[in-house]
Chain A
Amino acid sequence: MATQIQAEHELHRRRLSRNVGLGIVLILFVGLVYGLTIAKVGTDPLDDLGIPGTEAGQ
């Protein structure tokens, strides 16, 4: 009796879970680093960026 070939093997599902999982992790990582950058360089009122007119207190 011929074995029926399955288009969707369980293996494909596991590979898909790996690819999707890694993709989501990478997107979250990029978002996290972006957010961290904004928090680190964008919110300190005492930051002096060296640009005229941006010194603290102005």
Chain B
Amino acid sequence: MTDTSVFETEKEAGFGDYFALLKPRVMSLVVFTALVGLIVAPVPVHPMVALAAILFIALGGGASGALNMWWDADIDRLMRRTQKRPIPAGKVAEGEAFSIGIALSFLAVLMLFLAGGLVAAALLAFTIFFYVVIYTMWLKRSTPQNIVIGGAAGAFPPMIGWAVATGGVSVESVLMFALTFAWTPPHFWALALFVKNDYANAHVPMLTVTHGRDATRKHILGYTLALAVVALALGLTSIGGPTYMAVAVVLNLLFIRGAIGILRRDDTASYADNHLAERKFFKLSLAYLFLHFGALLVEATLGAYGLGGW
């Protein structure tokens, strides 16, 4: 055995490295929102079908994550945050990630077709296509609105869950999509305001760099206001109700207050307290999405006892 081969075997992947290709943290959001979409739908689903559908939606999301890592391997090597991913770390070969991503994409879509029907499978296929081709390959490196586009891909799971149950698309499912879609930009841009990142090294245009931090603050408030409209509109649909509405009103008031607070600050104030307002806003954004979808679940649960809804 030569020294070279010893060195290479040191980098051989374990099971966890392949699992890391599927971006498990993103998958947890996918699983949660897809599950809510499926449960709040007016058509009951057999628990086994629900379990299978959620797993295949998660698998499809994971597969698109692997394809994203395959395409972005060149810039992942340049940024500190992503250097430990399986491909830049040398654990998984690029071609291997591509094969896994493609194979799992087809498997997930086919199996979701069998479990949840044509509409759900078509939506999953479109989500993968959108995330990999439209976002990763095309827009991520060409526009500072990349976060907005990427957010759309992450917003599809509740729509897919709804489609598994009902076999279609409706106002409710579109508004659940819009909730995550409008939530993503303020969430990520707040993060971009206080985390030192090296997107510039990798030539990825981030709003904070291309248009400046003040423009980013304005964008955060704009999307936060749009988000409030969507969140309240969702409360007026068949899956909303007093509980959801109460949660939505409180959270959106807090969120708008936070966004205005950020807008009023300049960089001097922001650096002076180590971005305290931005950090608080980011923390709130995590609770915001979780509690909105959680409140929808509460409405559905109360509905089973004749208490939920309007």
Contacts and interface: CB of A to CB of B under 8 A. Distances in A.
Nearest to B52: A36
Contacts of B55: 32
A53 interface: no
Contacts, number: 44
Interface residues of A, number: 18
Nearest to B50: A39
A55 to B, nearest CB: 22
Interface in A18-41: 18, 20-22, 32-33, 35-36, 38-40
B48 A36 contact: yes
A22 to B, nearest CB: 7
B49 A11 contact: no
Given A14-B14, A43-B46, A32 B9 contact: no
With most chain A CB atoms within 10 A of its CB, the pick from B12, B15, B16 is B15
A21 B49 contact: no
Contact of A14 (B13, B51, B111, B114): B13
Interface in B1-48: 9-10, 12-16, 18-19, 46-48
What is the size category of the interface that chain B forms with chain A?
10 to 19
B15 A17 contact: yes
Contact of A20 (B15, B19, B51, B111): B15
B198 to A, nearest CB: 30
B48 A35 contact: yes
B14 A17 contact: yes
Contacts of B115: 36
Contacts of B15: 17-18, 20-22
A36 B9 CA distance: 40
Contacts of A17: 14-16
A22 B115 CA distance: 23
13 contacts: A10-B10, A13-B14, A14-B14, A17-B15, A21-B16, A33-B52, A35-B48, A35-B51, A36-B49, A36-B115, A39-B46, A39-B48, A39-B49
Given A11-B12, A36-B52, A38-B48, 12 more contacts: A14-B14, A17-B16, A18-B13, A21-B15, A21-B16, A21-B19, A32-B51, A32-B55, A36-B114, A36-B115, A40-B49, A43-B46
